[in-house]
Structure 1
Amino acid sequence: MKHLFIITSIFILIISSCKKTEKHTIKTKYISFKNILDVNRTDESIIISRDKILSILDSIPNNKVPLIKDSSGKIIPFQLDDLEKDGIWDELSLALDFTSNQTVKLELTTIARESIPSFTPRTNIRFGIGTNKTNVKEVLKQNRTGDPRANDSLFYQMEGPAWENDKVGFRFYFDPRNGIDIFGKTTSELVLDRVGLGDANYHELDDWGMDILKVGNSLGAGALAIKYNDSLIRITGKDQAEFKVIAEGPVRSIFDMIYKNSKIGERNIDLTHRITIWKGQWGYQSEVFFSGVTDDMKLVSGIVNLKPNKPYSKTLKNYYALETFGPQSENNDALGMAIIVSKEDFINKGEALQEKADIQQTYYTIMSASNKKSTAFYVLSGWEQSDQQFKTYNGFKKMIDNKIERLSNPILTQ
């Protein structure tokens, strides 16, 4: 009996030891990112597809989501975005810093969805609607036809959807003007939830910044038009326009402006203007999807030319840039604006001067428009009150050149 006890004990110890060994030999999974430039890069935007993550982890339990940690075990702020709105996340987004030529190796694991830590927000979308300044609620989706300015009982905070990060903010006029304005910021805090409410006037300098752009009848800072038969036709959304939030989080925020039945010549076209703003960037990305365009229709976007400025244009690496710089802010100090588009999509540039035209006082870029693929471009802004580097054109130019260099040499996922 004693010998049986000893044999049984040894067997249990062997089994236990095997289980411990098995537990310790579970392989840690990693994902790496490489900076191929010989310069430091801050807040570099990173997107990892669901398929890429599954190829590394093999599978993800139903009650868990992916998680990324650095070499010290610290969780890196991230978000999971359901771009298709089908209840399943499509992409994991994060922002990383790199030294020159650095490869960053990160641990890829999983965590229960309810255990995801709370990260400091660095991007924001705000569309407040109500009857007056004291009666406003935020909406994530809103439709319009005609001109809502004719409805005296309808109040739009900031006149339409607004978006921001820790550097700069923007707003859409949610009416047929359909222009885009700029909020210059003097703080990294997210402020647009409260702007346009109470007694403060966002056209005057406040502790957070101010509205720094006079848009008039221009395209402002990146609004859309179609060039057709030598005419510029503004996308107004009179027949049907829809605002819809796609994603909002600590790393990036995305929303769509969807336009139905926009009349161009004898045809009606549909287009979706998807706007993405990332943390740490001096602007936003536009991606435009088309349905119904013909070969004689081209996409146009532009920047306002209402106040003293000097225009610049250049081709650098894989991109074309249209820039302006001068004392053109509503604070009468230095403001630089730029549109960057890939050489593949860029066609030409122009300037809208006619006083009686629908689109006036605008420097613009002409880009490709196709039913088969989207067209992307970037809108950047640098105000001297936000950062002293923008007091001079050379400082603004350095930021633009850096952006183009980064776009031309994306971070490699390994």
Structure 2
Amino acid sequence: MNTLKITVVLSLLALISCKDKEKKEEKEPGTEKVETVVSSKPVYAEISIKEGGQWQDGPRDHKEYVGGTFKNVNSLEVPEEHTDHTWYIRYEGPGWENKNVGYRLYLDWRNAIDVWGKKVDSLVLPYVGQDGFDSYHEPADWGMDVLKVAQGLGVGSYGRQVEGTTHHFNVVANTSAQVENTDNEARVTINYKGWETPGATIDLQSELSMYPEGRYMKAVLKPSEKVEGLCTGIVKFDNIDFLQKEGEQWGYIATYGKQSLSGNDDDLGMAVFYKLSETAETTKGEHDHLVIFKPADTVTYYLLAAWDQEKDGITTREGFTTHLNELLTQLDSEGKLE
């Protein structure tokens, strides 16, 4: 190939590269720079926000955060402008993980808990969403976001059930979050001020904790006043096995089957463990299998997910059920999992 031809080929390749980069930047607004924080702890939680950019009117009926750099913070007061898909919070809320599994909570009106399916036993969250805001929806070497939350609670999030409707956090005066990491626990504490649902306006504090071992997270809900209908649950899909069992002091609801987003014909199990003494009923809502709690000052429960693509993971319905029953026995005998 002569010099002229080589020059033309190189110019075309450079042009294609530039066009690809332009398309990527259009799809991934505000990802010009990133800041990665890596933890050596066996369990980890984080929340990461944009700094250095600005709020601008977006194509939808809300503002978007344009430009800036992602930075991990220990505390956050959610801006009034923030809602879903504003590009302000990396993967849209706080995240937790250990060697087995990870979770995230949408820190907006949806307030659902999603699942990170992991194929590796190392920490991955510091890198998730750094190469494109929602790139985690596509399979990667580390794993991917495996749950389609849709209009449900995801796995083990919380809301309020009133007259057959599960109310999320559409109307809240103020939301703030704090992250704390130790060698034995990764905790995110979220405070909701002025949460409005039919017939009640309350404050609510949630403490969501993960530990070095196991697949579970512990949830502690503290409403400012006792209200009926406070609930948790698991998003429901058609033709998916529903499991339920009650022990002496605790019970669980669970689902198992091909309810993963990966598209690889894989299985995902999800469960919520609840105290019998704190539970008014278990039922089906429009979008979720529900656990509805009695009015109380404090409610405690556990949630978990198990993806069959995990490294050394649970790969069958029978194995998942055995695992749940072992945890139920531990809860009945010790009253806790951590």
Q: Report the TM-score, using the length of structure 2 for normalisation.
A: 0.77
Decide whether the 8 Å contact of 2:155 with 2:303 is kept in 1: yes
1:312 to 210, 229, 243: 243
How far does residue 218 in structure 1 lie from its aligned partner after superposition?
Answer: 0.5
Give 1:396's aligned residue: 320
Distance 2:209 2:84 in 1: 30
How far does residue 241 in structure 1 lie from its aligned partner after superposition?
Answer: 1.0
Give 2:334's aligned residue: 410
Give 1:111's aligned residue: none
Decide whether the 8 Å contact of 1:286 with 1:376 is kept in 2: yes
How far does residue 407 in structure 1 lie from its aligned partner after superposition?
Answer: 1.7
Decide whether the 8 Å contact of 1:283 with 1:380 is kept in 2: yes
Give 2:35's aligned residue: none
SS of equivalent residue, structure 1 residue 166: coil
Distance 2:68 2:142 in 1: 21
Distance 1:249 1:210 in 2: 25
Decide whether the 8 Å contact of 2:165 with 2:285 is kept in 1: no
Q: Aligned in 2, Cα 1:411/1:231: closer, same or farther, shift over 3 Å? A: closer
Greater CA radius of gyration, 1 or 2?
Answer: 1
* Counterpart residue identity of residue 324, structure 2: I
Q: Aligned in 2, Cα 1:133/1:214: closer, same or farther, shift over 3 Å? A: farther
Q: Aligned in 2, Cα 1:387/1:127: closer, same or farther, shift over 3 Å? A: same
Give 1:321's aligned residue: 252
Residues 1:215 and 2:149 aligned together: yes
Q: Report the TM-score, using the length of structure 1 for normalisation.
A: 0.63
Give 1:80's aligned residue: none
Distance 1:389 1:137 in 2: 32
Distance 1:143 1:306 in 2: 34
* Counterpart residue identity of residue 370, structure 1: A
Structure 1 window deviating more from structure 2 (186-195 vs 137-146): it is: 137-146
Distance 2:49 2:252 in 1: 36
Distance 1:196 1:285 in 2: 25
Distance 1:178 1:327 in 2: 24
Q: Aligned in 2, Cα 1:388/1:123: closer, same or farther, shift over 3 Å? A: closer
| Percent of residue pairs identical | 25
Distance 1:314 1:150 in 2: 35
1:244 to 166, 178, 182: 178
Distance 1:314 1:196 in 2: 37
Give 1:234's aligned residue: 168
Q: Deviations over 1:191-215 (max 9, x none)?
A: 1011000158211221211100000
Distance 2:197 2:335 in 1: 39
The answer to which structure has the higher strand fraction is: 1
Give 1:203's aligned residue: 137
How far does residue 236 in structure 1 lie from its aligned partner after superposition?
Answer: 4.0
SS of equivalent residue, structure 1 residue 386: coil
How far does residue 125 in structure 1 lie from its aligned partner after superposition?
Answer: 1.1
Alignment RMSD, CA only? 2.4
SS of equivalent residue, structure 1 residue 218: coil
Residues 1:168 and 2:101 aligned together: yes
Q: Aligned in 2, Cα 1:268/1:145: closer, same or farther, shift over 3 Å? A: farther
Distance 1:184 1:351 in 2: 26
Q: Aligned in 2, Cα 1:151/1:196: closer, same or farther, shift over 3 Å? A: closer
SS of equivalent residue, structure 1 residue 369: coil
Decide whether the 8 Å contact of 2:97 with 2:210 is kept in 1: yes
Q: Aligned in 2, Cα 1:264/1:155: closer, same or farther, shift over 3 Å? A: closer
Give 1:368's aligned residue: 294
Residues 1:124 and 2:58 aligned together: no
Distance 2:67 2:183 in 1: 27
Unpaired runs of 5+ residues, structure 1, are 1-118, 354-360
Give 2:302's aligned residue: 378
How far does residue 250 in structure 1 lie from its aligned partner after superposition?
Answer: 2.3
* Counterpart residue identity of residue 182, structure 1: V
* Counterpart residue identity of residue 172, structure 2: K
How far does residue 411 in structure 1 lie from its aligned partner after superposition?
Answer: 9.2
Number of residue pairs aligned between Structure 1 and Structure 2: 281
Give 1:79's aligned residue: none
How far does residue 317 in structure 1 lie from its aligned partner after superposition?
Answer: 3.3
Decide whether the 8 Å contact of 1:214 with 1:306 is kept in 2: no
Decide whether the 8 Å contact of 1:347 with 1:366 is kept in 2: yes
Distance 1:197 1:237 in 2: 30
